[in-house]
Chain A
Amino acid sequence: MRALVWITESSWPACVDRARELLPADAEITLLHVASSEVEALAEHPGPGRLGRHRPPPPGPSVREISDEEAAALLHEAARRLARPAETVAHRGRVEREVLEAAADADLLILGRDGEPRREPKSIGHEARFVVDHVGCEVLLVWPEPPGGLESVRWPPHLR
């Protein structure tokens, strides 16, 4: 069984914990982080300024170097928390697309619900929503934090 765990900044600990607890011992686990090239491009060229001119960036590490460093640090922390053999992969690009392509040959995708708890359809964030809608393999959706009991459900009128 090949399992892909999508590591994001807000939900990775819960995803890693579920992978460790639920995946069979012989599962091949891949931890994936995707840096958004759109946000990096915007940080490098953050806007119109004057007629779209951009001065050379100030000295110091570039946006991409910082981004790579943080992705590596996050994946390292995730692998340590997983405490099982796993491959770590850092991609860059349009996030939803990169995840779908990486999940193409996986049997299971584990990802976090990064939306607002107990709000439909917003309990799943934009990117995760697109991936869930389109991915071909099975999906395990993980709550970053337990959502609380049934008493916290805001029932719509027809279900009251």
Chain B
Amino acid sequence: MIGRDADPGFRRVNEAIALVALAACLVTAVARRREVPDWAVAIVAAAVVLATGAIGIDGVGHALARLGPTLGFLAALLVLADGCRRAGLFEALGAEMAIGARGRPRRLLALVFAAAAVTTAVLSLDATVVLLTPIVFATAARLPARPRPHVYACTHLANSASLLLPVSNLTNLLAFAACGIAFTRFAVLMALPWAVALAIEWIVLSRVFADDLRPSPEAREHADGPHPELPRLALAIVALTLGGFAVSSVAGIAPVWFATAGAVAITIARPPESLPSLVVAAEPTFLVFVAGLGIVVAAAGAHGLSSVVRSALPSGTSLPALLAVAGISAVLANLVNNLPATLIVVAVVSASAPGAVLAMLIGVNVGPNLTYVGSLATLLWRRIIHAHDEQVDTARFLKLGALTVPATVLASTVALWLALRVI
């Protein structure tokens, strides 16, 4: 097979096969047809690139060895977040926000910002998207306030507040595994970019939605309804898990073990409704999809994609280089979606410096806010196929994205550059 691969003709065929396999994975993931599950397509695509020799068995083994711990890490975090839901953490957060808002929509928006920023950073963007957003909607509706700004804040912060920790976003986990930076150093370097992203989101959202944030003169000063207490045990487990992450490099124990311990602890403390619900919470089909996608991206990378990206990306950690990496990553995240973009770019930049990897993360994490579905291809696809059930106001989403994403990518990258110089 190695002999065949040296033949330029075969190389070109393999290159084409790898790119077609990658496109097949992306299109099925984007189309989301029940009858063609994306995880099955990813397995078939991985099998095809292996069978045709576009990637060797060693390459598959290497890709899986690299991805395996990351996917285990993700599964543990998803189980931890779902345990927090079972413990009533998000209902309790909703009640706290309702009390703290004192009937004022703008105060509620500030509290939603705090809750979404912390939830995204600590429990990952999925916790904000799936678990926090419905609670925020209910809290705003019951205030009563028009829930638009609060729901948009969750949607935006799920992406832009996912800069802080390696656990905040799967893209971060992939980069974290690849660049070998310590957990605490990642957090310290990304703290300022994260804060800058939050500030820009606040300035834009609170202005754009100013008329939805007018208080009612008859606002209920005191929230009625149930007041569930914050679940102390679940919070303690999350805090201990975070503490474990912080000391992981000093203790010489990989952070994934602390995440696993946290997931086990919360599953014991708050047993799941059923075993299947525990499995569903860990999203096994998604993990399979990412593994398959990782193999296909590795094949495509070995056949020219990496060298194309390498020649497009500048090296070094000067400000212009970081801005270029962040900008190109943001564009890639919108063209091919942020997950494959991360897999492609991380293989290229991880060798250069952690600074470049972190700049890439600013681009792939904040970038998806530009187009509602995280990729232009997805947007176009859905507009064509599902025009009738596309209820989200695309124009409004694009306008908000245009107001926040370029500014955030720029300012957060400058903040990262400053942090890299100081720390």
Contacts and interface: CB of A to CB of B under 8 A. Distances in A.
A44 B170 CA distance: 21
Nearest to B210: A116
A74 B146 CA distance: 12
Contact of A39 (B147, B170, B211, B372): B147
Nearest to B281: A55
Contact of A115 (B152, B211, B372): B211
A9 B145 contact: yes
A144 to B, nearest CB: 6
A95 B216 CA distance: 19
14 contacts: A13-B218, A39-B148, A42-B151, A43-B134, A43-B147, A44-B134, A45-B392, A46-B158, A48-B373, A52-B374, A56-B280, A60-B134, A66-B142, A126-B211
Nearest to A57: B134
B137 A48 contact: no
Nearest to B393: A38
Interface of B: 26, 29-30, 32, 38, 85, 105, 125-126, 128-131, 133-134, 136-138, 141-148, 151-152, 154-155, 158-159, 170, 210-212, 214-218, 273, 280, 283, 286, 337-339, 368, 372-375, 378, 391-393, 396
Contacts of A73: 144
B216 A125 contact: no
B342 to A, nearest CB: 11
Contact of B138 (A37, A38, A66): A66
Contact of A63 (B134, B337, B338, B378): B134
Given A52-B30, A53-B286, A55-B126, A39 B151 contact: yes
A141 B159 CA distance: 39
B146 A42 contact: no
Nearest to B147: A39
A144 B141 CA distance: 19
Q: Which of A10, A48, A57, A61 has the most CB of B within 10 A?
A: A48
Interface string A12-50: 111000000000000000000000111111111111111
Interface of A: 8-14, 36-61, 63, 66-67, 70, 73-74, 114-116, 122, 125-128, 144-145
Chain A interface, DSSP helix/strand/loop, else mixed: loop
A47 B126 CA distance: 10
Contacts of B154: 46-47
A70 B144 contact: yes
Nearest to A95: B146
A69 to B, nearest CB: 8
Given A46-B133, A47-B372, A144-B214, A9 B30 contact: no
B302 to A, nearest CB: 23
Given A11-B214, A40-B391, 4 more contacts: A9-B144, A10-B105, A52-B30, A122-B211
A41 B382 CA distance: 15
Contacts of A50: 126, 170, 286, 339
Contacts of A38: 148, 391-393, 396
A47 B148 CA distance: 14
A52 B339 CA distance: 11
Given A41-B391, A43-B134, A43-B147, A52 B158 contact: no
Given A10-B145, A42-B151, A51 B374 contact: yes
Contacts of B105: 9-10
Contacts of A12: 216, 218
B32 A37 contact: no
A46 B374 contact: no
Contacts of B337: 51
A57 B26 CA distance: 24
A48 B280 CA distance: 19
B73 to A, nearest CB: 15
A114 B339 contact: no
Nearest to B283: A55
A36 B146 contact: yes
A63 B139 CA distance: 11
A61 B155 CA distance: 20
B137 A9 contact: no
Nearest to A81: B218
